[in-house]
Amino acid sequence: MTINGTAVTERSTRIDWVDYAKGICIVMVVMMHSVLGVEKAAGETGFMHAVVMFAQPFRMPDFFLISGLFLAVVIDRDWRTYLDRKVAHFAYFYVLWMTIQFGFKAPGFAAEHGWQHVGALYLESLVEPFGTLWFIYLLPIFFVVTKLSRGIPPAAIWLVAAALETAQVATDWTVIDEFCARFVYFYSGYLFASYVFALSDRSREKPTLALIGLALWTLINGGLVWSGVGHWPLISLALGFAGAGAIIVMGTLLARMQWLNFLRTCGEHSIVIYLAFFLPMAVTRTLLLKTGVITDIGTISLLVTVAGVAGAVLIWRLALLLRADFLFERPAAFWIAPKKPAPALQPAE
């Protein structure tokens, strides 16, 4: 199925429901890391664990599907410009924030294994994504593979991608495993963009029907996840697409009503949050668990999630205020195909 490139081009300006959907996704990502981190440190689970498990089938599929949604607008650019916008851009932020994260964790690594091990681990992080940053490591690979494969029938690529997800490849190398598990969603966002927009349009026009669909999806997704079959081959693929569609519908309905505008803000700055949430998350988790002011693990997990999201936005604001823009905006020195006139910085988004 080919994409309606014209329709996507016309709608490639900032779209409210896309930001809402991205906002939901990034909050779920922060929630997952926050909840599992708290529970691992505490040695017990809380009420937030059920929310994380419910979102597991679609949390990353929707993020990748939306990431491929506007690819048709730029895929015909010359290779130099394309590599600048879709590879060098993310490579800059990966190396920068991998180094920042690594700096916080290096003393602990050194205490356990010595500084020689720390140096080797840093170099290894250039090929094996470090910590929470695997998403922006993988995106450039998806962009390049999609452009390189344009001469291959899209249906064949999609079927191979779906087969790779269904195979549930496990090599213990993040790049290979996550590529196999996620590429089908990214490519579907690119390939079926016109249908995604049609789903959003229909949801906006018929909100009651959309709400009924969301209620049914909630029951089915929850039932399959909690029965233990949500990760089975084909079922996981179906739940990934169903959940991605549900998040798109949710985003559309929220945008229609202009509710929960903080989610829209989170979506507009989703990469900013993704890059920086690790620090306020870790600090808040440590403080709450060590002080013992709050004992309920679910409540601690919720507070750590909020702190991760809000803290990342605060770090971004402070960086701009202190003129440390390079933390979230790519300096012109790191462009390989600058615009004319060349901008001083390119935002992480």
Residue 340's pLDDT band (cuts 50, 70, 90): low
| pLDDT score at 33 | 97
pLDDT in tens, 14-36: 799 999 999 999 999 999 999 99
Answer whether 66's CB lies under 8 Å from 18's CB: yes
Share of the chain above pLDDT 90, in %: 88
| Cα–Cα distance for residue pair 72/157, rounded to 1 Å | 16
Average pLDDT, the chain: 92
| In contact, 309 and 27? CB cutoff 8 Å | yes
Q: Is the pLDDT of residue 347 over 70?
A: no
- Say if residues 275 and 97 touch (Cβ distance below 8 Å): yes
Residues facing residue 329 across a β-bridge: 347
For tokens 């993988």, the residue is 138
Q: What's residue 221's pLDDT?
A: 98
Q: Collect all residues with Cβ–Cβ distance below 8 Å to 97 and sequence separation of at least 6.
A: 133, 275, 276
> Of 3-12, 75-84, 211-220, 321-330, which gets the smallest average pLDDT?
3-12
d(CA 334, CA 317): 22
pLDDT confidence of residue 348: 58
pLDDT surpasses 50 at 6: no
- Is residue 8 pLDDT above 90, yes or no? no
pLDDT in tens, 309-320: 999 999 999 999
- Range name among 4-13, 37-46, 107-116 with the lowest pLDDT average: 4-13
In the prediction, which pLDDT does 113 show?
Answer: 83
Contacts of 131 (CB under 8 A, 6+ apart): 98, 101, 105, 278
Q: Is it true that the peptide bond before 331 is cis, omega within 30 degrees of 0?
A: no
- Could you report the per-residue pLDDT of 80-105, keeping only the tens digit for each? 999 999 999 999 999 999 999 999 99
Q: Dig out the tokens for 322 from the structure.
A: 């202190």
Give mean pLDDT, residues 125-138: 94
Whole-Å CA distances, 309 to 23, 76, 251:
10, 35, 18
In tens, the pLDDT along 141-169 reads: 999 999 999 999 999 999 999 999 999 99
Q: What is the pLDDT of residue 13?
A: 58
Model confidence at 214, in pLDDT bands (50, 70, 90)?
Answer: very high
168-207, pLDDT tens digit by residue? 999 999 999 999 999 999 999 999 999 999 999 999 999 9
CA separation (Å) from 73 to 7, 12, 82, 206, 346? Answer: 10, 8, 11, 29, 18
Would you say residue 327 has pLDDT above 60? yes
pLDDT average, residue stretch 56-77? 95
User: Around 51, how many Cα atoms within 13 Å sit in the side-chain half-sphere?
Assistant: 19
Domains of the chain, by residue range, sit at 5-347
